[in-house]
Structure 1
Amino acid sequence: MSLLSYLLLAATAACCFTTLFALPMDGVATNRNCQCVTTSSSIIPTRLFQRIEILPPGAHCRKTEILITKKDNKTVCINPEAQWIKKILTKVMSKRSVKESSMPTVA
């Protein structure tokens, strides 16, 4: 390939990246596929939990989402920055790691 071809390819790539990064990341268009339109920081007692889902950022949504399905089948979106949910997740993860480390290994 000639030098001109490489320069044209580099200019095209630069334009594409500039356009990609110039778009707003937290705008309405990017959050259209998020499960949670609004989040709550209100404490929900763990005895009311039926299921908890943690959806990491990805192609569907650019932010972490935490969905709690309560025993009455209502789903509540929780603010991942809420201190009470951080404590619960820390407890669950520590119990999980203890449980995994006590399992016998198969050789």
Structure 2
Amino acid sequence: MSLKVIAIISVLVILVIEQSVSGFTLDPARSGRKCKCLKETRSFISPDQYEKVEIFAPASNCPKAEILITLKTGGMVCLDIDAKWVKRLIEALIAKKDKVKSQKTTKASIKKN
């Protein structure tokens, strides 16, 4: 086998492993797909690895809710919304958002007085 063939096979193997370990994502603008996630993972991902968490509600361009985590390493992972740990993550994010809203409302009330 030539070096070029070995390199191509190696890249393909790495891509297959990456896809099986984490949810595979595509930018819908470039791919023509409507949803961002092609595959979701149920595997736990430590919050220490999160750079950003995005939740996309069902819409006309994608009929299902999607959760996309951008990792500190730069990778992107789609989460299975039915996984127990993902449901707890969503609850924690909502509670955090409600707490921030409550603090802003309290600060606004104090400033008015």
TM-score bracket relative to the smaller structure: 0.5 to 0.7
Percent identity for Structure 1 against Structure 2: 30
TM-score (norm 1): 0.65
Counterparts of 1:59 and 1:100, CA distance in 2: 28
Show the counterpart of 1:61.
62
Q: Which runs of 5+ in 2 are unaligned?
A: 1-32
TM-score (norm 2): 0.62
Q: Which amino acid aligns with 1:71?
A: K
Counterparts of 2:58 and 2:97, CA distance in 1: 22
Q: Which runs of 5+ in 1 are unaligned?
A: 1-31
Counterparts of 1:74 and 1:102, CA distance in 2: 33
CA RMSD of aligned residues (A): 1.4
Q: Secondary structure at the match of 2:108?
A: coil
Correspondence 1:76 to 2:77: yes
Show the counterpart of 1:40.
41
Counterparts of 2:80 and 2:62, CA distance in 1: 15
Correspondence 1:92 to 2:89: no
4+ residue runs of structure 1 moved beyond 2 angstroms? Answer: none
Correspondence 1:105 to 2:113: no
Aligned pair count reads: 76
CA offsets 1:29-57 (integer angstroms, 9 cap, x no match): xxx31111111110000000001111111
Larger radius of gyration between Structure 1 and Structure 2 = 1
Counterparts of 2:98 and 2:56, CA distance in 1: 20
Show the counterpart of 1:13.
none
